[in-house]
Amino acid sequence: MEEALAHQQRRRNDEAERLYRAALEILPDQPDALHMLGVICYERGDLVRAKALVLRALDLTAWRHWTYRHNLGLILTQEYAAHGWDPAADRTEAYRQWHVASRASGRRDEPRVSVIVPSFNHSRYIERAIRSIFKQTYRNVELVVIDDGSVDGSPSVIERCLRDSPFPSRFLARENRGAPATINEGIDLATGTFVNVVNSDDWLAPRRLQVMVAEIANTGENWGFSSVTFVDAAGEIIDPLKNRRVYDLTCAIAALPTRRTTGFALLSMNVSISSGNLFMSRQLFREIEGFRQHRYNHDWDFCLRALQAAEPVFVREPLYFYRLHGSNTIDESIEQASVEMREICSDYLRWVGTGAKASGPFAPCIANWGSIFMHEVLESTLPLVVDIAILRELALANPQHLSRPVGTATGE
């Protein structure tokens, strides 16, 4: 293997191939030998054999080797190009123009915004959440609060706070049904054109609604989210350098403007962080049929389904305060949260595999992005969490049988 690699690095591929094949006679499932033979085939233009060899190496290593996935992406790019697929340049330019146009088309409408507060056992925190809504600089607001079966006195705190509400408000207390059902119920009761959920242990910056209306509602867009400030149980800002989870999330948010699209960033990770950070039109909410009954990742699931309809707007200003404390739902069971995450991401890739065309022109899918979509997926951490069978199916799909982006020539 070492000698074969030395030959390959010197571009002596015939000798390298001979030695890799000799290695495979000793160990027929040696993944590095299979992978490097695939690279040689790729360099010779034999894409069919190259893909078969690299896929075999990936299967033997549970798709965990980034280098293998990267090279499979290169092979797929050439394969798609051979069938007339090269939407990336046009699609990327269209995305840039969309950004410019949306910033230039700002109106000064003041649509009603319904703020939905799902409350559950956060009597320590909910007053701050509600009063942060009272302090909004944007004033065309209505407030809907639903207590989801709290047993810690939260309803009495809510009732006391709502006596001071400067906005029309509605309060409902009932038995526990879970966060997704509670959010859906609150939005169904609301009358606003746009909606912002505020989780009962978090709070909003005073300019939150004003900025979100300006950046989303008044630019004709359907949804988006802002940057986030992470705070502890006492409401103090957490230093990212002293908390690895906060550090990772902060880095992911900071890198958003460098990603191909915000949608591609969301496909890799829930960079929206929380359902409370989502600002959306009620029209979009109805179109994708609200939040589904996931306990830990209902917010990410909503984002991935919303991506199919419309690209989100990312607002760089940190306008949502996300509180980390000992009873965050996501921390109840890392194992169960991971299972849910795998199901959600696999569902999205299954939808992609149907070749269906999204209504959103920038939705991350093969129909919009061709091999670029596959390359982005293979470069991300998705292969480490989703069903490998789905990845193989997407990699083996014939480009001729997949939907094409609008305006892409078929070559037929």
CATH code of residue 221? 3.90.550.10
Instruction: Quote the tokens at residue 171.
Output: 């309060």
Are 49 and 147 in the same domain? Answer: no
Lowest-pLDDT range of 266-280, 324-338, 353-367: 324-338
Is residue 245 included in any domain, yes or no? yes
Is the pLDDT assigned to residue 204 strictly greater than 80? Answer: yes
Are 53 and 110 in the same domain? Answer: no
Contact of 58 with 74, CB cutoff 8 Å: no
What pLDDT shows up at residue 105? Answer: 63
Q: Cβ atoms within 10 A of the Cβ of 412, count?
A: 6
Are 55 and 183 in the same domain? Answer: no
Are 22 and 122 in the same domain? Answer: no
Is residue 178 included in any domain, yes or no? yes
Instruction: Quote the tokens at residue 132.
Output: 């942060």
Are 20 and 135 in the same domain? Answer: no
Are 179 and 31 in the same domain? Answer: no
Is residue 354 included in any domain, yes or no? no
Whole-prediction pTM value?
0.88
Is residue 149 included in any domain, yes or no? yes
Are 37 and 186 in the same domain? Answer: no
Is the pLDDT assigned to residue 402 strictly greater than 70? Answer: no
CATH code of residue 7? 1.25.40.10
Domain extent for 45: 2-61
Are 115 and 21 in the same domain? Answer: no
Total tally of structural domains belonging to the chain: 2
pLDDT tens-digit readout, 239-248: 999 999 999 9
User: How far, in Å, are 126, 199, 353, 366, 383 from residue 75 at the CA level?
Assistant: 53, 45, 19, 15, 17
- Residue 226 vs residue 400, higher pLDDT: 226
Are 196 and 265 in the same domain? Answer: yes
Pairing of strands 278-281, 223-231: antiparallel
Listed in sequence order, the residues at least 6 apart from 48 whose beta carbon sits closer than 8 Å to its beta carbon are none
